[in-house]
Structures are given as C-alpha cells and as structure tokens.
C-alpha cells in the first residue's frame, strides 16, 4: 500500500467539502471579475501551490492582488484580511469582498456564485487528508503534461464548480481535447476517482484497451474512471497513474 497517499472517503469529506467548495467558488468569482475571459475558460480555475489554493494575480486598481486558501493554517487570506475556515462561510467572504470592491470604487462586478444548498461542517482533519491527495495529484498532472507531445496543454487548475483538478490537452490545437483529472467523488461516482474523457467522443472510445481496474463510466458522463483506492493499494501509485495516463495518446489517435 502507498505510504504517500492519504485515505479518502466521499461521505466523510462531504460536509467539509461544502465549506471549502463555497469558498473556492468565491475565489473563482473574484478572479473572473478582474481577468479577461480565456478562450478555454481557464479563468474559472484556481492554481494549487505549496500551501493550498490561490487565484491568479489580478490587477486591482493600482495594485496586484490575489486570494489564497492557506490549507496549512486553515485560513483564507486577502492582503491583511484573513478568515478562519472553521468560522467563516463562503457567503460571508463574498459579502465582505463585494463591500470592499464598492468601498474602493472599483469598476468590477463580483458575480454571486451558486452556493451549496446544505450547510457544511468544517473538519480540519478531513481537509488535511484531501490536501495530501490534491498536492500529490497536482505534481503528477504536471509530470503527465511534460510527457505529452505537441498540441496545446492547459495549466493544471482546480475548478470549484466540479471540485476537480484537471489537465486538458488539445493535441491538434483545435476543439478536440482530452482531459484527465481527479476529484473526491460526486453524485455519479460516490468515491474518489481519476477520470479521463475525450471531446468529441470517438465512436470506438469505450472499446479501447485499458489498464486493470479502469472502468468505462456511462452515468452522468462518458469516460474512463479509475478509483483513487487503486492508487493507495499499490506501493507504486505513480506507475499506476502513468499507465492510466498512457491511454491519452491512443485516444488522441482516435480523434484524428
């Protein structure tokens, strides 16, 4: 069993996820208020760094600002202002930032995101476990990106809406794309998993040879899915993930 990957349970993390996801939605909304739209909508995604998650630096008036979620200290930081995750909700942070923009007289609109319908209960322990998997996956996706030949590769970004960290590859520099990513479970797959999808979906995609424990997902979306637990079961999770990512070139060939 891998010693580098923490155990994750979809149900155990769900309540903490609601708190964290709402805050990340606010951070993404802030970023979009000050960045120009990207042709691939990358302005929706947030960067993972050594202490947590951060927005891109944004030109705000005469300064450059960013918002970070410091997972090490379990705080959200904006300049000298900070909020403790176990005491503050995404809606409270959104209200503060909206007032700040107005008070500063900035010509920017902070669009209210869609917040979780159920109130979350924040657990530092649960976030620490997720963060261990997130940091590991961020490193692995960067390594996978470096091994892809040609085409356009997206930045490695965490998307608050789906709560997935993902890499997209456009092998022919057009709308044809493959995306590999990780998330701690959702309504379709109620356990942490890694996915691999293609657009447009080639007719023969579901019949492609795949590594052991990789399944074809039909409910909610079409794509290949590998349980996160498969990585934890192995002493060499990097090798297992690279084998899964090795499907990207054959899939790209199907997109020709």
What percentage of the chain reaches a pLDDT higher than 70?
99
Q: What is the pLDDT of residues 79-122, one digit of tens each?
A: 999 999 999 999 999 999 999 999 999 999 999 999 998 888 99
Query: What per-residue confidence (pLDDT) applies to 3?
Result: 65
What's the half-sphere exposure (Cβ side, CA atoms, 13 Å) at 148? 28
- Give yes or no for a contact between 78 and 97, defined as CB atoms under 8 angstroms apart: yes
Q: Is 249 exposed, middle or buried (0-12, 13-18, 19+ CB in 10 A)?
A: middle
Per the prediction, the chain carries an average pLDDT of 96
* Nearest residue to 87 via CA among 29, 19, 24, 26: 19
The beta-carbon contacts of 109-117 under 8 Å, at least 24 apart in sequence, are 109/33, 110/29, 110/30, 110/33, 111/29, 111/32, 111/33, 112/29, 113/22, 113/25, 113/26, 113/28, 113/29, 113/160, 114/25, 115/22, 115/25, 115/90, 115/91, 116/18, 116/21, 116/22
* Nearest residue to 17 via CA among 100, 130, 94: 130
Residue 233 pLDDT level (bands cut at 50, 70, 90) = very high
Residue 1 pLDDT level (bands cut at 50, 70, 90) = low
Domain ranges of the chain: 10-103, 124-254
Q: What is the pLDDT of residues 51-87, one digit of tens each?
A: 999 999 999 989 999 999 999 999 999 999 999 999 9
Rounded to an integer, the average pLDDT of 116-133 is 95
Rounded to an integer, the average pLDDT of 211-219 is 95
Rounded to an integer, the average pLDDT of 234-255 is 96
End-to-end, the C-alpha distance of the chain in Å comes to 39
Full-model pTM: 0.96
Whether pLDDT at 181 is above 70:
yes
């Amino acid at each position: 069993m891998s010693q580098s990957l923490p155990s994750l349970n979809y149900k155990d993390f769900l309540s903490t996820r609601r708190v964290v996801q709402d805050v990340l939605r606010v951070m993404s909304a802030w970023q979009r208020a000050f960045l120009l739209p990207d042709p691939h909508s990358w302005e929706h995604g947030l960067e993972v760094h050594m202490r947590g998650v951060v927005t891109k630096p944004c030109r705000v008036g005469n300064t450059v600002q960013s918002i970070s979620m410091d997972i090490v200290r379990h705080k959200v930081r904006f300049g000298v202002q900070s909020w403790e995750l176990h005491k503050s909700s995404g809606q409270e942070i959104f209200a503060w930032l909206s007032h700040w923009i107005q008070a500063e007289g900035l010509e920017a609109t902070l669009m209210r995101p869609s917040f979780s319908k159920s109130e979350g209960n924040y657990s530092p322990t649960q976030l620490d476990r997720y963060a261990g998997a997130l940091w590991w996956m961020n490193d692995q996706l960067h390594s996978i990106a470096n091994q892809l030949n040609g085409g356009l590769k997206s930045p490695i970004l965490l998307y608050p809406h789906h709560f997935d960290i993902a890499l997209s590859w456009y092998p022919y520099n057009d709308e044809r794309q493959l995306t590999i990513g990780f998330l701690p479970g959702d309504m379709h797959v109620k356990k942490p998993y890694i996915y691999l999808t293609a657009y447009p979906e080639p007719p023969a995609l579901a019949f492609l040879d795949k590594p052991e424990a990789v399944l074809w997902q039909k409910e909610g979306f079409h794509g290949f899915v590998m349980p996160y637990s498969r990585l934890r079961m192995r002493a060499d999770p990097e090798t297992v993930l690279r084998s899964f990512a090795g499907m990207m070139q054959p899939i790209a060939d199907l997109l020709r």
